């Protein structure tokens, strides 16, 4: 109920604040007998971690995950997988100056009003640091989903947008540039843009596209838990996300039915895929693809006026080491959430027919 759990059978519950002792979680419901590739998990964590390139925050955190249970002799046992990532950056620095200050477009104000008691060091629970736990669980979900591939990449930074159909992209390019885009030229342009923005002490939004391939037919539960509805929720639950569309998306709303319909080939595949791999909330075996919009980071390195808990106007200046654009580091988070969604539906689908 308190919203810290994702999934129904393959379930992740996370805990932890940005400046507490540790963050972590419990994965409950991962099937027994899965061999775990620990290096692959760490690789995904490294793709998310701060300090990895010049266009992300320069904070240094190793983000090493420690598994406490549920894995024995490198295989899952079917019991809950407890894990933690110790917060090494948990300095005893003075947070007095922000204790009572509500940063604009952050969650300080709403947390205070909702809970009446807030861990004001950094973002506390509202910090995107929590997503490291999602990346751990998502990496395990991917291993469970062997054969299904998840490729997310940056498709827009600010007003720079890449419209090459994903079929024409080489996903191997994604990890070759700091922006995580499958198109090297576009990646270059984005990188330049982010550097300019950073120099201005400002931040910029962006869009991530995600493609899931080799999805079995039949995933998703119609009515309320449609496959794309769960994907949408999962994406919208990532910090800074403002929008989600799949298949033809908002463009599809402009079309006529006769143009929008995906006609069948005789093997059940479709000639076009404006449906985005989902029909009636259920996967049809075609590629699933969707877009996720991220707003610009709220912490800018500029002076801003805001209010404090007493309602007085105060001046604040963002300090520290923040991301000028979250999109490059959000790529593995999008993949992780997509993997959690698909893993849960794969398990849900097991009870559907005799």
Name which of residues 31 to 60 contact a copy of itself (CB under 8 A). 31-34
Considering beta carbons, is residue 72 or 170 the nearer one to a copy of itself? 72
Pairwise CA distance, residues 253 & 293, whole Å: 18
Token reading at 79: 């019991």
Considering beta carbons, is residue 176 or 196 the nearer one to a copy of itself? 196
The piece of 27-35, 56-64, 88-96, 175-183 that touches a copy of itself (CB under 8 A) is: 27-35
Q: Is 189 in the site for a copy of itself (CB under 8 A)?
A: no
Considering beta carbons, is residue 49 or 121 the nearer one to a copy of itself? 121
Tell me which H or E stretch contains 28. strand 22-28
Angle formed by the axes of helices 38-48 and 131-144, to 10°? 140
Pairwise CA distance, residues 196 & 159, whole Å: 14
**Residue 235-274 contact track with a copy of itself, rule CB under 8 A, x = bound:** -xx----xxxxxxxxx-xxxxxxxxxxxxxxxxx-x---x
Does 54 belong to an annotated binding site? yes
Considering beta carbons, is residue 77 or 213 the nearer one to a copy of itself? 77
- Residues linked to residue 123 through DSSP beta bridges, in sequence order: none
CB-CB contact of 204 with 159 (8 Å): no
Considering beta carbons, is residue 42 or 131 the nearer one to a copy of itself? 131
Measured over the CA atoms of residue 156, residue 60, residue 123 and residue 43, the dihedral's sign is: positive
Does 240 belong to an annotated binding site? yes
Token reading at 74: 């490198």
Q: How far is the CB of 314 from a copy of itself (least distance, A)?
A: 10
The piece of 57-65, 124-132, 162-170, 176-184 that touches a copy of itself (CB under 8 A) is: 124-132
Pairwise CA distance, residues 77 & 69, whole Å: 9
Judged by CB under 8 A, the residue of 137, 140, 145, 207 near a copy of itself is 207
The piece of 49-57, 151-159, 168-176, 177-185 that touches a copy of itself (CB under 8 A) is: 151-159
Q: Is 193 in the site for a copy of itself (CB under 8 A)?
A: no
Q: Is 329 in the site for a copy of itself (CB under 8 A)?
A: no
Question: Which of the residues 127 through 146 are near a copy of itself (CB under 8 A)?
Answer: 130
Q: Is 315 in the site for a copy of itself (CB under 8 A)?
A: no
Measure the CA dihedral 35/174/214/337, to 10°: 70
Angle formed by the axes of helices 38-48 and 327-348, to 10°? 140
Judged by CB under 8 A, the residue of 72, 91, 93, 199 near a copy of itself is 72
Judged by CB under 8 A, the residue of 181, 228, 289, 333 near a copy of itself is 228
Pairwise CA distance, residues 187 & 210, whole Å: 16
Pairwise CA distance, residues 43 & 50, whole Å: 13
Residues contacting 198, CB < 8 A, separation 6+: 55, 324
Token reading at 315: 């001046």
**Residue 80-119 contact track with a copy of itself, rule CB under 8 A, x = bound:** xxx-x-----------------x-xxxx-xxx-xxxxxxx
Binding residues for FMN: 125-127, 239-240, 280, 295-299, 321
- Binding-site residues for NADP(+): 48, 54
């Amino acid at each position: 109920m308190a919203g810290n759990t994702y999934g129904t059978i393959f379930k992740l519950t996370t805990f932890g604040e940005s400046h507490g002792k540790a963050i972590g979680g419990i994965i409950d419901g991962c099937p027994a007998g899965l061999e775990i590739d620990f290096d692959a998990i760490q690789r995904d964590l490294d793709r998310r971690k701060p300090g990895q390139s010049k266009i992300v925050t320069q904070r240094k955190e190793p983000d090493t995950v420690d598994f406490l249970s549920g894995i024995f002799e490198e295989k899952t046992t079917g019991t809950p997988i407890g894990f933690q990532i110790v917060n090494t950056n948990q300095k005893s620095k003075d947070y007095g100056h922000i204790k009572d200050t509500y940063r604009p477009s952050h969650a300080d104000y709403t947390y205070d009003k909702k809970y009446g008691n807030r861990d004001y060091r950094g973002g506390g629970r509202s910090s995107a640091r929590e997503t490291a736990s999602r990346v751990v669980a998502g990496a395990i979900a991917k291993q469970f989903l062997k054969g299904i591939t998840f490729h997310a990449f940056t498709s827009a930074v600010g007003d720079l947008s890449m419209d090459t159909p994903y079929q024409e992209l080489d996903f191997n390019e994604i990890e070759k540039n700091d922006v995580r885009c499958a198109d090297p030229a576009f990646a270059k342009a984005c990188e330049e843009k982010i550097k300019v923005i950073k120099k201005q002490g400002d931040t910029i939004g962006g869009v991530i596209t995600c493609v899931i391939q080799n999805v079995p037919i039949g995933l998703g539960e119609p009515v309320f838990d449609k496959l794309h509805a769960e994907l949408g929720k999962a994406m919208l639950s990532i910090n800074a996300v403002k929008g989600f569309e799949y298949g033809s998306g908002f463009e599809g709303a402009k079309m006529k039915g006769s143009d929008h319909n995906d006609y069948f080939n005789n093997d059940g595949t479709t000639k076009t895929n404006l449906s985005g791999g989902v029909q009636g909330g259920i996967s049809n075996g075609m590629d699933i693809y969707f877009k996720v919009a991220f707003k610009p980071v709220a912490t800018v390195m500029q002076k801003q006026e805001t209010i404090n808990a007493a309602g007085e106007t105060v001046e604040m200046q963002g300090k520290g080491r923040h991301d000028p654009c979250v999109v490059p580091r959000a790529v593995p988070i999008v993949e992780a959430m997509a993997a959690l969604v698909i893993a849960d539906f794969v398990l849900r689908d097991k009870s559907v027919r005799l």
